């Protein structure tokens, strides 16, 4: 028996090409603790694009194949091939998270309990018509939640919760977030309002500030204005924020944030210390919107840290009890605090159209795509 499922695949070839295509995969009948989910909604997150596009230069993308079985090919700059040795010539499925309906279940009680339910699913390969997953990879939504409403249940909600939780665990009292008008940024604003946490939003354009103010953001700083540095220092002084999450990674933004934190912290210093404030200032890079090198002008004393922040590492660190608590909260607030919005819902084939790729590949604020693998072409 089993199910045949159409699935989106990404391959990096030894010849230096990226190939995107659709392939059929066999989904077996469910094992005891497994369920089969008909995936009806899966977002294209920035965190999916790394696997989807690899290091390819998508400006070179060209289409071939048929409308029903499109193929997209793009060139990978030679010097970037060494970074993807481990995936060469493997046809990899894509899509971190999604939601759908449980259409078959194994014999176990937890599996049977999910039969017919709308669930969020995590575990990769979500740009597929059907997925066999363990019950622990599922989150059952309340009656009435649709797959489209629940599709982005894991990456953004748990990242937002993870940022606030990291702040508490590491002893900071407020947060800074860059690229703050993103879907995740808006979610983080709702969460911080809910939890009474001060949040400094850094945006890159005036209209993004307007958008965030509209949803109740108090501290919004626009990095494109000449008063950016002063505005940021003022917001950091007002909130006491000494922890930032940076989605961009490259350039000088992380350095500027550390500098402004140091200025805000030193304003209360009683005597000169050539090592700067003794308050630890931390920036975590959790995304790579800007792939250029990170440049630090170290004028922020010695009590600072910069590092990578990865949701999976955070979830491992907090343990399964806390993890369950966070998941339960997501299920309860998936249509409010953790709601996501999309500009397009596309089929698997439509997701491989060059025009679509050019749009969601930009990772522009407000342009978010949702794939429905069971939508007809």
Which residues of the shown chain bind a second copy in the complex (CB under 8 A)?
A: 50-51, 83-84, 86-87, 90, 92, 249-250, 255, 266, 269, 271-275, 278, 285, 288, 293-299, 301-310, 312-313
Least distance (Å) between residue 297 CB and a second copy: 5
Instruction: Return the SS3 of 255.
Output: helix
Provide, rounded to whole angstroms, the least separation between the CB of residue 228 and a second copy. 17
Residue with smaller CB distance to a second copy, 2 or 15: 15
Q: Could you tell me if 118 and 150 are in contact, meaning their C-beta atoms sit under 8 angstroms apart?
A: yes
Q: Give which of 108, 150, 158, 100 is closest to 130, Cα–Cα.
A: 100
Nearer to a second copy among residue 87 and residue 204 (C-beta): 87
Contact 188, 220 (CB under 8 A): no
Q: Report, in Å, the least distance between residue 231 CB and a second copy.
A: 18
Per the CB < 8 A criterion, the answer to whether 143 and 335 are in contact is: no
Return the H-helix or E-strand segment holding 194.
Answer: helix 183-195
Please spell the DSSP secondary structure of 15-48, one letter per residue: TSEEEEEEEEEEEPPP-TTEEEEEEEEEE--HHH
Pick the closer one to a second copy by CB: 107 or 230: 230
In whole angstroms, give the CA distance from residue 6 to residue 328: 31
Q: DSSP string spanning 220-249? A: EEETTSTTHHHHHHHHHHHH---EEEES-E
Give whichever of 145 and 255 is closer to a second copy, judged by the CB atom. Answer: 255
Helix axis angle, 155-169 to 183-195, nearest 10°: 50
Task: Yes or no: say if 49 and 39 are a contact pair by the CB < 8 Å rule.
Answer: no
Q: Left, alpha or beta for 76 (phi > 0: left; psi -120 to 50: alpha)? A: beta
d(CA 157, CA 141): 14
What's the alpha-carbon Rg for the chain, to the nearest Å?
A: 22
Nearest-approach distance from CB 64 to a second copy, in angstroms? 25
Nearer to a second copy, 272 or 355 (CB): 272
Taking the complex as a whole, how short is the minimal distance between the CB of residue 72 and a second copy, in angstroms?
19
Q: Which is nearer to a second copy, 92 or 148 (CB)?
A: 92
**Smallest distance, a second copy to C-beta of residue 75, A:** 19
Residue 135 or 256 with smaller CB distance to a second copy: 256
Q: How far is the CB of 271 from a second copy (least distance, A)?
A: 7
CB of 49 or CB of 339, closer to a second copy: 49
What is the nearest approach in angstroms of a second copy to the Cβ of residue 286?
A: 8
Minimal distance, residue 357 CB to a second copy, in Å: 18
**CA–CA distance, 368 with 44 (Å, rounded to integer):** 7
Closest CA to 123 of 138, 104, 111: 138
Q: Is 117 helix (H, G, I), strand (E, B) or coil?
A: coil
Q: Which is nearer to a second copy, 141 or 309 (CB)?
A: 309
């Amino acid at each position: 028996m089993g199910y045949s499922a159409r699935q989106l695949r990404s391959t990096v070839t030894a010849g230096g090409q990226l190939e995107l295509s659709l392939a059929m995969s066999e989904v077996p009948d469910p094992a005891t603790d497994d369920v089969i989910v008909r995936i009806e909604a899966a977002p294209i997150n920035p965190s999916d694009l790394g696997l989807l596009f690899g290091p390819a230069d998508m400006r070179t993308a060209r289409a071939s194949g048929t409308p029903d079985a499109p193929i997209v090919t793009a060139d990978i700059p030679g010097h970037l091939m060494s970074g993807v040795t481990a995936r060469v010539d493997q046809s990899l499925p894509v899509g971190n998270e999604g939601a759908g309906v449980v259409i078959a279940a194994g014999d176990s009680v937890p599996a049977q309990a999910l039969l017919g339910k709308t669930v969020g699913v995590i575990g990769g390969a979500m740009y597929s018509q059907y997925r066999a997953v363990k019950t622990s990879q599922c989150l059952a939504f309340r009656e009435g939640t649709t797959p489209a409403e629940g599709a982005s249940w894991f990456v953004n909600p748990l990242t937002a919760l993870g940022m606030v939780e990291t702040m508490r665990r590491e002893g900071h009292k407020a947060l800074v977030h860059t690229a703050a008008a993103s879907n995740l940024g808006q979610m983080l604003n709702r969460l911080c309002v809910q939890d009474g946490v001060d949040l400094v939003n850094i945006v890159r354009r005036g209209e993004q500030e307007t958008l965030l103010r509209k949803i109740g953001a108090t501290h919004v700083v626009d990095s494109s204005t000449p008063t950016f540095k002063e505005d940021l220092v003022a917001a950091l002084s007002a909130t006491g924020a000494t922890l930032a999450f940076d989605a961009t990674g490259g350039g000088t933004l992380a350095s500027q944030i550390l500098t402004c934190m140091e200025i805000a912290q030193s304003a209360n210093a009683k005597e000169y210390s050539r090592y700067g404030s003794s308050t630890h200032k931390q920036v975590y890079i959790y995304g790579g919107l800007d792939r250029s090198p990170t440049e630090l002008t170290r004028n922020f004393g010695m009590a600072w840290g910069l590092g990578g922040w990865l949701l999976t590492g955070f979830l491992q660190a907090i343990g399964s009890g806390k993890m369950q608590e966070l998941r339960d909260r997501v299920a309860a607030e998936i249509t409010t605090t953790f709601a996501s919005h999309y500009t397009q819902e596309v089929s698997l084939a439509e997701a491989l159209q060059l025009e679509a790729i050019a749009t969601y590949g930009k990772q522009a604020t407000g342009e978010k795509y949702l794939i429905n693998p069971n939508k007809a072409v």
